[in-house]
Structures are given as C-alpha cells and as structure tokens.
Amino acid sequence: MKKYWSPVFLLFVFEAVAISCWLATDNIFYLFNFSYIGCSVALGVFLFIKKYKNARRVTQLLVGLYMLIYLGFIGNENMQIEGFWYYLFTGVFEAATIHYAVAKIFGPLIFGRGWCGFACWTAMVLDFLPYKTPNQPRKRIGWIRYITFAASFIFVTLLFLVGATHMEQIMFWAFLIGNIAYYLVGIILAYVFKDNRAFCKYVCPVTVILKPMSYFSLRRIKCDKNKCIDCGRCKQVCPMGVDITNNARKNATECILCFECIKNCPKGALH
Ligand code: SF4
Ligand code: SF4
Ligand code: SF4
C-alpha cells in the first residue's frame, strides 16, 4: 500500500487548495476546479504506479484540455503569463493569479515542475511530436526565456499605462494569439532542434518563475548510488537532458517529473 502514498498525498494537497480557495473567494467553482485537477493528477500518478505506459498523457489531456478549452476559450480566462500580470496589477486574486500561485509559484515547492510534465497544455501538444528524446546536447540559448518573460510584462504594463479600454477582450485575444504563437514556435523549434521540449528549454517565460521555485522542491527524483551501474540509460531517455544520477538539487529546476528515467532504469535505482 505504501506505493500509493503519492497519489493520495497529491489528492489531499489539491483538496486542501480547493477548499481553501472556495472559502477564501466564496466561489464554489474553485472547489470543483481544483478537485477535478487533483483527481486528474492523482489518476495519472496511480496509473504510472500500475505501469500503464500512457499514464502521464492521460493527465496531460485531462488537465490541459480542460484549462485550454473550458477555462480559456469558453470561460474567457487568460491563464497565460499575460493573464497573471493582468490580474496581479488589478489586484484580483482569481483565475490566473490562483493558477500561478498553485501550479507555478508555491506548488513547485512541493511537486517541482510537475506542472510541465503532467498538465501544461502547450507541452500536451509538443509531446505528440516525434522527438521525445533529444540526441543533441543542450544549446546555450536559455537566455531567450528572459526576453519572452520581460515582453509579457512590458505588454501588460503598457496596456495599463495607455489606459486601454476593453481590457478583458484584449486579454482574451492575447490568450488566443499567445497560444497560437506558442504552438507555432514550439513546433518549429522541435523540428529544428529535433527536440520536442526545445520550447520548454529555451523560450517558455514561465520557467523564469518555475525554475527557482523547483530548486527547493520536496519531490525530486533521487538516485540510489548503491544500485546504479552508470549505464547512462536514464539520461538517454530524459526529454530534458537531465543527468539525474548525481542527486544535485539543481536537477529539480530542469526535471519535469515525467518519470521516463524511472521507467527505463534497469536496476530500479531511481525513485
Ligand atoms: S516549460 Fe513552459 S511550455 Fe514547457 S511544459 Fe513548462 S510551462 Fe509548459
Ligand atoms: S538508468 Fe539507472 S542504473 Fe543506469 S545510470 Fe541511470 S540510475 Fe544508474
Ligand atoms: S530526470 Fe527523469 S523525471 Fe526528470 S525529466 Fe528527466 S526523465 Fe523525466
């Protein structure tokens, strides 16, 4: 039974968030929202424990499609980083601010970049592309993420400075256009670098927040040095090019907790 501790713990964390947000905002939507996400994440982890090979993809589709289509396109919520700045500047603790607080700022202290492995709707599409395991070393162009991060901040700041009207509509169009741009750039980069996760490694502005928070993550993949035979298989299959065998805390800033290394380790040295 001990092996089922992870999904139960995750379910408990998301239920705590669901109830807290519901009570804090007096909006029952948050109870349903985070309960749904918690169940989806716990289901994915449970299926992984049961050795179902598409376990992570199930959660990615359940959460990613829900957030992109239901919250984004139908609910008119800009859940991208521009939406976060927008709600932050307006002082509204709702939608994107809550999403960022849970998935990308405080959540990573517990589950690292689990968002990137299990829930992101951009990666949900990128992970269908053919280059699941990059065979080239990482490029030194990670600085691009700081430009996209600054651009998103400047864009929303300018809207406030010029006193733009119809801000909600602008943010909806920003969400639409932003997503199309992310998918286009992500797909092009995947083919150029032969690496599905090139966008995540070099361009995604969210990683500017995710990486430092994940450094302190409670949940990290650890390597039992007594079992490891240095075969290198874990690094070969890692979509993020992480050498997880050295147990360095900085690995958590790149690791997306996709569990591919655990699945492929011949000695069961990773957990
Ligand atoms: S790095 Fe960005 S695009 Fe990639 S999975 Fe994480 S949040 Fe999504
Ligand atoms: S796959 Fe397992 S045994 Fe091989 S290097 Fe990685 S941790 Fe060690
Ligand atoms: S280190 Fe393992 S869990 Fe982390 S991204 Fe690489 S393969 Fe996935």
List pLDDT tens digits, range 177-232: 999 999 999 999 999 999 999 999 999 999 999 999 999 999 999 999 999 999 99
Predicted local confidence at residue 141, as pLDDT:
97
d(C-alpha 62, C-alpha 141), whole Å: 32
Domain shared by 31 and 106, yes or no: no
Is position 234 within any domain? no
Do residues 72 and 183 share a domain? yes
For ligand 3, whether the C-beta of 200 sits within 6 Å is no
Residues 148 and 165 in one domain: yes
Q: Are residues 17 and 136 in the same domain?
A: no
Residue range(s) defining the domain that contains residue 145: 61-221
User: Side chain identity at 198, as an amino acid letter?
Assistant: A
Is residue 45 predicted with pLDDT exceeding 80? yes
What is the tens place of the pLDDT at every residue in 142-182? 999 999 999 999 999 999 999 999 999 999 999 999 999 99
Residues of the chain with pLDDT > 70, as a percent, come to: 100
What band does 3 get if pLDDT is binned at 50, 70 and 90?
confident
Residue nearest to atom 8 of ligand 3 (CA): 258
Residue 265 lies in a domain: no
Residues 119 and 138 in one domain: yes
Convert the pLDDT of each residue in 49-62 to its tens digit.
999 999 999 999 99
Q: How many structural domains comprise the chain? A: 2
Average pLDDT, the chain: 95
Residues 98 and 2 placed together within one structural domain of the fold: no
Q: Which of 9, 30, 52 is the last residue of a domain?
A: 52
pLDDT given at position 2: 78
Does residue 94 fall inside a structural domain?
Answer: yes
How far, in Å, is the centroid of ligand 2 from the Cα of 265? 5
Residue 186 resides in a domain: yes
Q: Please tell me the residue having the least CA distance from ligand 3 atom 5.
A: 255
Q: What is the mean pLDDT of residues 237-250?
A: 95
Look at residue 100 in the predicted model and tell me its pLDDT.
93
Per-residue pLDDT at 252: 96
pLDDT of residue 244: 96
233, part of any domain: no
**Same domain, residue pair 7 and 140:** no
Residue 22 within any structural domain of the chain: yes
Pocket test for ligand 2, best of 231, 255, 259, 261 (most atoms within 8 A of CB): 231
Q: Which residues line ligand 1 (CB under 6 A)?
A: 116, 120, 122-123, 199-200, 204, 206-207
Q: Are residues 18 and 152 in the same domain?
A: no
Tell me, yes or no, whether 133 and 163 share the same domain.
yes
- Is residue 125 scored above 80 in pLDDT? yes
Rounded to the nearest angstrom, the distance between the alpha carbon of 200 and the centre of ligand 2 is 24
In ligand 1, the atom with minimum distance to the C-alpha of 117 is 5
pLDDT of residue 210: 97
pLDDT band at 135; cut points 50, 70, 90 = confident
Q: Is residue 260 part of a domain?
A: no
pLDDT value of position 136: 87
Q: What is the mean pLDDT of residues 89-108?
A: 90
Ligand 2 contacts CB of residue 221 (under 6 A): no
Q: Does residue 3 sit in the same domain as residue 44?
A: yes
Residue of 207, 259, 271 to mutate, ligand 3, most atoms within 8 A of C-beta: 259
Residues 83 and 128 in one domain: yes
Average pLDDT on 25-42 reads 95
Q: What is the pLDDT of residue 163?
A: 92
Asked if residue 244 has its Cβ within 6 Å of ligand 3, the reply is yes
Q: Residue 256 domain-assigned?
A: no
User: Is residue 159 domain-shared with residue 75, that is, in the same domain?
Assistant: yes
